Structures are given as C-alpha cells and as structure tokens.
Amino acid sequence: MTDLRPPTTDEIERYAATHHMDLSEREVEDLSAAIPAVLGAYERLDELSASEPDVEYPDRTAGEAPSTEEDPLNAFVRTCLVEGAESGPLAGYDVGLKDNVSVAGIETTFGSDVVSGFVPSIDATVVTRLLAAGASITGKLNMEDLAFSGSGEMSAHGPVKNPYDPDHLAGGSSSGSAAAVVTGDVDVAIGGDQGGSIRIPAAWSGCVGHKPTYGLVPYTGILGLGRSFDHTGPLARSVADCARVLEVIAGDDPLDPRQGAVTTQPYTELLDESTPEALTVGVLEEGFGHDESDPDVDETVRDALDTLAETGTAIEDVSIPMHLDGLAIWNGVANEETTATIAGEGIGHFGNGYYDTDLMAAFAEARRENADAFPPTIKLVATLGEYLTEEYHGRYYAKARNLSMDLAAAYDEVLEDVDVLAMPTTPQTAHERLEDPSDLQIIERAVNMLPNTAPFDVTGHPALSIPVGTTDGLPVGLMLAGRRFDDATVLQAGHAVERSVE
C-alpha cells in the first residue's frame, strides 16, 4: 500500500504551474484545505483489491540465459518451460515470446537495462490462449531496447545475429523471434509490430511474419509504444503455421482497451481452400525505388511476382501516391504517442480494460531512476515528442492521426479492385553488424527500413512478409497488405507466393 499524503503548499503551486496556472496565496490555501477530503476516496482505493486475470497452467520453470554455445545468434534472453494443455491445435509446438510479453513468474526485461528485475504476476492474453491450445512456452526472446528500432543491434543483451550471415543483423525489434524461428530453436514465435517490428526481422532473417489487422489480436499484458498502433502477431517458417497461430490468438478480449468490434475468420480452413487463380495482386508502384532501395531487392520481389503470375494469379500494377507520405504520417503519430506512453508509466490512460499496476509501478520507478539508460532512439523520441506537444500543442500529432484516415481510405479504394497490395517488405537487406556504432548511426540505422512497413501500422491494415529469395546471400522479403479484418486473404496470397517460389 502506498503512503498517500496530501501535497504541500509548494507542491500545489508547482503542479498547478505545469498547467500554466499561477495560483494566488488564497487559492493555494483553499486547495490545501480541500484536497485532503478528496484524497479520502483514494485512501479507500488503497484498501480495495482489484481482480486480476487468472493464471492457467501455473507449473512453470523460469529457466536461465543460455550460453553462447547454446545460442550463437543471441536470440534468447532466457529459456523457460511452461507447458499448456495436453491437446489442441498447437499441441507439440514450442513457442518463443518477444521479451515484452508477460509470463507470470518469469522475468521480463523488454530488452533493456532501464526496467530490470520485473517479474509479472499475470500472463498476457496471447499466452493464455497459446497454452490452452496445447503449446509450450520455451523461451523469452531478445528484442530491441524498449522496442524502438528496426535494426536488431540495440538490445541491452547485445545484438541478434542474422541466421544467414552472423556478420549482419537479424532485424528488429522482434529480433530474437525471427532468429529463433529460422534456426528451429522454436516452432513459432510471437513478436510485436509498431513500425514493422514483426515484418522487418522476418524479411531480413528469412521467415514468415504476420502483422494482423489492428485490434484483431489482444495486446493485454504486452508492453507497447502507442495504443493506436501497437500490434502483436506470429512469426513462423510457413504461412500455414502463422495462420494456425493466428486462429488461436485472435479474437475479442474485454481486458484490451485497444479493441473495438473484432471479426475473426477460419484462417487455416480458408488457407487450405485457397487457389492462386482466385487471387488478384496489386503491385504498388510507390513501394519500389525508394532512396534507401537496393535495386537487387526490388528485382528479387518483382521476379517472385512474375513467378506467381505463372501459377495463374492475376498481377496488376497499381498506384497510391499517398503511400510515399505514410512514413511521415507514422512519425507524426509515433513520436508524440510514444512520449505519452512513457509519461503514462508504460501503460497510458483513458481506455476501458485491464491496467497492469505492477508494470506501471516498475516502469514509473525505473524511468525516474534510470532514464539515462534509455537507448538513443527513446531519448530522441521522448525529447522531440515533448517539445512538439508543448510548443505546438499536439497539432502535428492530431493532423497525422487525421491523415492516417485519409491514407487508410486510399488503400481501401485500391483494395476494392485487388485482393492484396504487394511490395518489398524492406527496401534493403540486413544491415552489416558494427562493433561500436555511434548514437547517430544507431538512430539512422534504426528507422531507414520503414517506408513500406510503417504506413500499415497507423492504418491498421494486415500485412505479411514472405521470404522470396536472397541477394548477396541475405534474405529478401515480399510484403502483402490487405483489407482490414480480412487477414485470411492476405494469408492465402502469402501461401500462393510461398508455394510458387519454392
């Protein structure tokens, strides 16, 4: 129980001043007299106990960090063992979790030194659903420090090496999730995606990664960056396994304030029924030829689409000029919203649903004591976000949110005529691993792969990355984006690509 005390007169003046109020001496005296009565209700809150989500399958082994010999790519933060139901659609599957996903009784590090020693008392909703489906949780997987980077080099536990070439990076922020899947150390993994953080490591490391429609999969029990663009979803070695996992974890969760009405589909059944001839793929002109683009990546993706056309899939060129503004719109949303999430003690405010008070308390204490340990990207975002909010009064955030609806409408208009949009997942292959990158190098390398992935985080459309070949020995990913809550068609198209390039 906290020690709740009324503010001093100096504190009343100071906290009022943060709202630009200059209180008179009489007003300070009046507030000082009124506040203790109001705090009586808060004292009662301290006396009450709120219910928490039940923890199913409580027998679990917390495990330990594997040795370098056991984990040469540095994909794991720790191995663990939580066994689920004896039967179910995921019986026999070993599942790894990005280390921002809560598992009761097992430390969660968020890839960071800022919040250390935090042990959740709850399971994330996706964990409860995975266990009920027969899966075993066998590892907490390395990730970028507090998830704000796409490169794979910023974890406090060290960079995650690329499975194809350890002199390159796995991609982020779900770095270990991709690497562990590709090596076969887990059958499937759960990642998180705010700017591309499932699809980027999937593309760079050579596996399948699916960012579901916004709100389709509950985010309860997972540390995020912004409620309007947090996504969680599967990474696997096949589209079929992504579909199987999505079928288990998707659906309504009254504990998640992000969700509205949720429409699910029989993803596995529809995947089995799909035929390439029934699909129309729109090749997005603006998804190619970025300043950051490697021509070999663009060519590899186009070659894969040509191969798909040979199976009977209709391929059409389409144009959405506003796609080129998608990254700017994402920046306008992500910077100020992430800043607000940090100020909201890692959880935020003003949504119906479950609030992890233990995580809020740990994050609140950590950011006040260890903020100097924030990674360069978080220092940049928090500083810039606060500046923009205070000096420009949220104007750019609000405008970016409004523009995101226009961008979504532009995608929707084209998706009336085609089933999915196709483009490279990232404009380049994996970054080379640097021994001692500067802060400016880290910042630049953290976000220079986002022009195709980030727009679909602010619009909420489902997007899937499928490996379609290599260039200079490094994997190339093709991304498909589809209509919101029609993840089944995106997976069908991905399945067709997968079969054609094999």
The CATH number assigned to the domain holding 388 equals 3.90.1300.10
Q: For the residues 291-295, what does the mean pLDDT come to?
A: 97
Does residue 81 share a domain with residue 188? Answer: yes
Q: For the residues 335-352, what does the mean pLDDT come to?
A: 94
Does residue 480 share a domain with residue 431? Answer: yes
Residue whose tokens read 């194809």:
164
CA distance 307 to 422: 14
CA distance 327 to 325: 6
Q: For the residues 474-496, what does the mean pLDDT come to?
A: 98
Task: Determine, yes or no, domain membership for 96.
Answer: yes
pLDDT of residue 502: 83
Q: Is the pLDDT of residue 456 over 60?
A: yes
pLDDT of residue 362: 96
Residue % of the chain over a pLDDT of 70? 100
pLDDT tens track for 214-267: 999 999 999 999 999 999 999 999 999 999 999 999 999 999 999 989 999 999
Task: Determine, yes or no, domain membership for 3.
Answer: no
Confidence of residue 428 (pLDDT cuts 50, 70, 90): very high
Task: Determine, yes or no, domain membership for 55.
Answer: no
Q: For the residues 270-289, what does the mean pLDDT come to?
A: 96
Q: Could you give the angle at which helices 395-415 and 326-343 cross, rounded to 10 degrees?
A: 130
pLDDT tens track for 84-115: 999 999 999 999 999 999 999 999 999 999 99
Does residue 163 share a domain with residue 36? Answer: no
Does residue 220 share a domain with residue 151? Answer: yes
Q: H-helix or E-strand containing 243?
A: helix 239-249
Does residue 133 share a domain with residue 13? Answer: no
pLDDT of residue 475: 98
pLDDT of residue 260: 87
Determine if the pTM surpasses 0.85. yes
CA distance 168 to 153: 10
Confidence of residue 350 (pLDDT cuts 50, 70, 90): confident
Does residue 251 share a domain with residue 115? Answer: yes
Q: What's the Rg (C-alpha) of the chain?
A: 23
Task: Determine, yes or no, domain membership for 302.
Answer: yes
CA distance 496 to 492: 6
Does residue 43 share a domain with residue 125? Answer: no
pLDDT of residue 30: 97
Does residue 132 share a domain with residue 34? Answer: no
Strand partners, 136: 83, 94
Task: Determine, yes or no, domain membership for 475.
Answer: yes
pLDDT of residue 2: 65
Distances (CA, A) of 448 to 171, 288, 290: 12, 14, 10
pLDDT of residue 146: 97
Does residue 198 share a domain with residue 256? Answer: yes
Q: Total domain count for the chain?
A: 2
The pair phi, psi for residue 137, each rounded to 5°, is -85, 120
Does residue 334 share a domain with residue 466? Answer: yes
CA distance 246 to 159: 28
Task: Determine, yes or no, domain membership for 318.
Answer: yes
CA distance 323 to 424: 13
Task: Determine, yes or no, domain membership for 291.
Answer: yes
Q: Is the pLDDT of residue 276 over 70?
A: yes
Q: For the residues 285-308, what does the mean pLDDT come to?
A: 98
pLDDT tens track for 109-152: 999 999 989 999 999 999 999 999 999 999 999 999 999 999 99
pLDDT of residue 1: 53
Task: Determine, yes or no, domain membership for 105.
Answer: yes
pLDDT of residue 373: 95
- Residue 120, helix vs strand vs coil: coil
Does residue 294 share a domain with residue 273? Answer: yes
Contacts of 115 (CB under 8 A, 6+ apart): 109, 346, 362, 363, 366, 370
Does residue 182 share a domain with residue 42? Answer: no
Domain of 397, in residue numbers: 60-501
pLDDT tens track for 378-392: 999 999 999 999 999
Q: For the residues 349-372, what does the mean pLDDT come to?
A: 94
The catalytic residue positions are 98, 173, 197
Q: Would you call 21 exposed, middle or buried from its count of C-beta atoms within 10 A (0-12, 13-18, 19+)? A: exposed
Q: Is the pLDDT of residue 364 over 60?
A: yes
Closest Cα partner for 202 from 495, 486, 468?
468
pLDDT of residue 401: 98
Q: For the residues 457-463, what does the mean pLDDT come to?
A: 98
Q: For the residues 359-373, what does the mean pLDDT come to?
A: 96
DSSP-derived letter for residue 447 is: H
Residue whose tokens read 């400016």:
440
DSSP labels for 316-337?
EEE--GGGGGHHHHHHHHHHHH
CA distance 173 to 202: 11
CA distance 209 to 214: 15
CA distance 220 to 102: 9
The pair phi, psi for residue 281, each rounded to 5°, is -110, 125
